Structure 1
Amino acid sequence: MERLDWLIRGALDPRSGERVDIGLQGGRIALIRPIAETMPLPSSIRTFDGDGYAVLPGLAETHIHLDKAFLSSRLPGVAAGLQQAIEMTAALKSSYTADDIKARSREVLNRASAFGVTLLRAQVEIDPILGLMSFESALELKREYVSAMDVQLVAFPQEGIFWQPGTAELLERAVRMGADAVGGIPYNDRDSSEHLDYLFRLAEVSGLPVDLHLDFSDDPRQLAIQDVIALTRKYGMQGRVAVGHLTSLGSVELDAARRIAAGIAEAGIHVFTLPATDLYLNGRQDTCRVRRGLTPVRLLLEEGASVCFGSNNIRNAFTPFGTGDPLDIGLLLAQTAYMGTSEDVMTVLGMCTTQATLAIRGKKSDILEGATADLALVRADSAAGILYDRPRDRVVWKDGQLVGERANASA
């Protein structure tokens, strides 16, 4: 006990409904035990009164665009669909500066950290317009925020690879500079198969995972996911491929969709649903029986696929709203994917904690003795209270260090 760096006293474990003491030492969880209110403590141990808080593993943001956040005030109008959002944003790129990118990115990172995010994967745009300016800025921010969160960078060719000469060389340079994943967007290039073949070869050579924007439409014929399943198997990348959006699958007939979902699960592909953007941009051409524009989350879960969620964009042409809080996105997903049971609450919370860290890091986070001490305390008295109320009163530990002092922390 004398060797503990911190003791969090009496926080609620939402899985068991019990209050526990959690001891932190050397960046890890050293002990977990039922609350012992009268236990004497050495004066040297810093304590945090967890009464009234529920404890989660640190939250994870699986998919976000830092470099095009907070652009709404610069837009000429509101985008009427995905292609217009891409075009409107591309038109702004020539006005970006490194300082501008970092300032807007810091706004997102500061919000995310305050909300309890300790792991974040950012899609960083690389193309002949920006060159590597956005990527170099993101590398600086990754180092700047290392004590608050682990930031992963996806080298992302938003404007395509092959109809933008020079992009492939820029992607390869970004990989050498320290990208954490190879990104792609096959529906925004001259040939989807060519795009995917290149990315999987680059991932094989570099030893990096793949993280794709995929099948972002209501068109049931847009099913590049089938090529991704085949390539994942071909390159032996099970568990190391993620796909964002995948909304076309939501328009596929049930039997065919179920077969594809089973293939996704068998290939170990992680699906990142992005409901704030997907609900906003999809279904716009439907005049009746308007589709929700989401990937079929419940079907994927039934078939055993790994499903998480992300914010994607904050206040830009793709998504004119957003706070940076994963729990806001979790509630939106629960409401629109028919996830209303107590079991669903735990599933949704897992999608931005344990399951999300498995998808991004390759291993689950958890509140267990010996685990890394990345924790988010939320002022709530139940799992449902965490998700449904999304209280803003939160306290965060990263690697066993308190991120931001609070009044009920004591030395």
Structure 2
Amino acid sequence: MLDLLFHNVTIPHSSERMDVGVSDGIITYLAETEDEAAIAKEVIEADGNVLLPGFVEPHIHLDKAYLLDQMEQDATNLTEAIQFTSELKKSFTKEDIRERSIKVLEKCIGYGVTHLRCHVEVDPIVGLKGMEVLSDLRETFRDQLQIQLVAFPQEGIFKQPGTADLMEKAMLLGADVVGGIPYNDDDAVEHIDFVFALAAKWNKPIDFHVDFSDDPTQLAIRDIVKRTLAYDYQGRVSVGHLTSLASVPYHEAQLIAEDIAEAGISVMALPATDLFLNGRSDQERVRRGVTPVKLLIEKGVNVSFGTNNIQNPFTPFGTGDPLDIALLLAQVAQLGTKQDAELLLDMATVHAAKAIGLEEYGIALHNQADLILFDTTNLRQILLERPPRQTVWKRGVKQRDNNSDEKMIHVAHGAEI
């Protein structure tokens, strides 16, 4: 007998209504809907409503979320955003980081996020405070969502003496991913080489912030492609931003996109931040400031999108809802067809899962039952109308039920949402 059965649901990439059964937190039954349903302890009559895998947030910064109230002035470009945040970090405490991070995590869970990759600042300014706090929260929230931690040298590795040693210590503390930001060191290649060497030493995947500008000559992605192939790291490297590629002549951009695809590098579009900070020097024909999503997809690159920042100098917006970013990217990248809507939902789920190396993910047999049931029978309407998420499950356990007044999410620190 199944623990849970979703009877008569619409799922992505299926022309038939389906039944999805769960036992011990795993999807163990998947079949076209028939009048005679499988036997289960609990049956949810979905009436054709859409069932999606839990959302995957592949790129977010928890430790510097919700900083607007601490800012004395607003940032107007990337340099100022980095500078102002660097100053604010001097006053960060563990409790401050914890409170702001929990605020984001609880919102994300309510929105149906079941997996999340977080970039954690590691540098002489903040030390390892963020890594220590978020390592604890990774455990605290493990029944609500799975968190990956990226050791992220925001201030550069060699510009800030001592950062290289802190990156090593972050790995000892349990960082899941080695992060990099080549454009914030004087020698981008030296930075990239350090990241690959550290990742290979610890056998960890890599996630770069790369080529975040309108400058078509800023193409560290080429060196990342070379190192990915040299280290045999295909499928284990992700990059966020990659906005310079949008300013490169089209034929050259095509070739670079083909190289990215060959190296198995995933690209994460971050439109909320990239639109806000890029294109500011343009007086006319202002650039969109977002990586060329359509071109990358056409060339076979795995493309997803992320929230990146929430209400801080880099992005004075954000709620943590992946559908906010999906709708923004749909308009910016001109993804408006029915097929595009389904693609955007894939980008928030299976594409993002691939980017961060998830296994046993998605609506298929033997995968974890991380699921969201929506109040609509139309996949496209999830993007257009953003109907209520009726219920969210993590490994078959209900996290949020919007059909009742009961608030389902409970975490170890005692907070409820």
Band the TM-score falls in, shorter-chain normalisation: over 0.9
| Cα distance in structure 2, aligned partners of 1:197 and 1:326 | 32
Cα distance in 1 for partners of 2:274, 2:229 equals 28
What is the rounded CA distance, in whole Å, between the counterparts of 1:394 and 1:361 in structure 2? 28
Deviates more, 1:209-218 or 1:386-395: 386-395
Q: Would you say the 8 A contact 1:334–1:348 is kept in 2?
A: yes
Asked if structure 1 preserves the Cα contact closer than 8 Å seen for 2:120 and 2:149, the reply is: yes
Give me the whole-angstrom Cα distance separating, in 2, the residues matched to 1:191 and 1:278. 23
Give the aligned partner of residue 227 of structure 1: 223
C-alpha contact 1:374 1:400 (8 A) present in aligned 2:
yes
Give the 5 Å matches for 1:39-118. Answer: 39=37, 41=39, 45-51=41-47, 53-118=49-114
Quick check: 1:79–1:317 contact (8 Å CA) kept in 2?
A: yes
- Unaligned runs of at least 5 residues, structure 2: 406-417
Out of 131, 134, 137, the residue aligned to residue 138 of structure 1 is 134
In structure 2, the residue corresponding to 1:220 is in which secondary structure? coil
Measure, in 1, the Cα distance between the counterparts of 2:207 and 2:97: 22
Contact in 1 for aligned 2:56/2:115 (Cα 8 Å): yes
- Mapped to 1, the partners of 2:115 and 2:97 lie a distance apart of 20
- Separation (CA, whole Å) in 2 of partners of 1:367 and 1:133: 37
- 1:174 aligns with 170
Partner of 1:34 in structure 2? Answer: 32
* Residues 58, 356 of structure 2: 8 Å contact kept: yes
Shift in CA distance, 299/39, structure 1 to aligned 2, threshold 3 Å: closer
- Give the direction of change, closer, same or farther, for the CA distance of 1:40–1:271 in structure 2 (3 Å limit): closer
Structure 2 Cα separation of the partners of residues 164 and 74 of structure 1 = 24
CA contact (8 A) 1:116 1:394 kept: no
Greater mean alpha carbon deviation, residues 211-220 or residues 386-395 = 386-395
Q: Report the equivalent of 2:385.
A: 389
Identify the residue that residue 315 of structure 2 maps to in structure 1.
319
Alignment partner for residue 23 of structure 2, among 5, 22, 25?
25
| Cα distance, 1:383–1:74 mapped onto 2, change above 3 Å | same
Q: SS state of the match for residue 339, structure 1?
A: coil
Give the aligned partner of residue 302 of structure 1. 298
Output one character per residue of 1:134-154: Cα deviation in whole Å (capped at 9) or x when no partner. 000000110011001110000
Deviations 1:320-368 (A, max 9, x none): 1111111110111111111111111111111111111111125473211
SS of residue paired to 2:135: helix
Q: Which amino acid counterpart does residue 30 of structure 1 have in structure 2?
A: T
The residue aligned with 1:9 is 7
Matched, 1:205 2:201: yes
CA deviation after TM superposition for structure 1 residue 53, in Å:
2.9
Whole-Å Cα distance in 2 between the matches of residues 48 and 169 of structure 1?
A: 52
**What amino acid is the match of 1:115?**
Y
Report the CA distance between 1:52 and its aligned residue. 6.0
Structure 1 residues 17 and 328, CA gap change in structure 2 (3 angstroms): farther
Cα distance 1:168–1:394, how it changes in 2: closer, same or farther (>3 A)?
farther
Name the CA distance, whole Å, in 2 between partners of 1:62 and 1:76: 30
Following TM superposition, by how much is the alpha carbon of 1:394 offset from its aligned partner in structure 2, in angstroms? 3.5
Summarize the Cα distance change of 1:362–1:10 in structure 2 as closer, same or farther, 3 Å threshold.
Answer: closer
Separation in 2, partners of 1:40, 1:52? 17
Contact map agreement 2:182 2:209 (CA 8 A) in 1 = yes
TM-score by length of 2: 0.94
Quote the offset at 1:113 in angstroms: 0.7
Deviation digits for residues 58-86 of structure 1, max 9, x if unmatched?
A: 11001000001111111112211001011
Kindly state the Cα deviation for residue 408 of structure 1 after the two structures are TM-superposed: 7.1
Q: CA deviation at 1:378?
A: 1.8
Compared CA separation, residues 268 and 14, structure 1 to 2 (3 A): closer
Cα distance in 1, alignment partners of residues 142 and 376 from structure 2: 28
The counterpart of 1:158, out of the listed 150, 154, 158, is 154
Counterpart of 2:121 in structure 1 is 125
- Say whether the 8 Å CA contact 2:212–2:243 is kept in structure 1: yes
Give distance in 1, aligned partners of 2:364 and 2:5. Answer: 15
More off after superposition, 28-37 vs 136-145: 28-37
Task: Give the conservation status (yes or no) of the 8 Å contact 2:392–2:401.
Answer: no
User: Could you tell me how far apart the structure 2 residues matched to 1:406 and 1:387 are?
Assistant: 19
Residues in 1 aligned to 2:252 and 2:36: alpha-carbon distance in whole angstroms: 59
**SS of 2:228's equivalent?**
helix
Shift in Å, 1:19: 3.0
Question: How big is the shift at 1:41?
Answer: 4.7
CA-CA distance at 1:197 after TM superposition: 0.6
Aligned to 2:410: none
Q: Which residue of 2 aligns with 1:244?
A: 240
Letter in 2 for 1:13: I
Take 2:158 and 2:56, find their aligned partners in 1: how far apart are those partners?
32
Q: How does 1:358-373 map to 2 (within 5 A)?
A: 358-363=354-359, 365-373=361-369
**Tell me, what secondary structure is at the counterpart of 1:5?**
strand
Structure 1 residue corresponding to 2:349, chosen from 339, 347, 353: 353
SS at match of 1:13: coil
Runs ≥4 residues deviating over 6 A: none
What SS does structure 2 have at the residue aligned with 1:231? Answer: helix
3-state SS, counterpart of residue 361 of structure 1? coil
* Counterpart residue type for residue 290 of structure 2: L
Q: What SS does the aligned partner of 1:328 have?
A: helix
Q: Is the 8 A contact 2:376 2:387 kept in 1?
A: yes
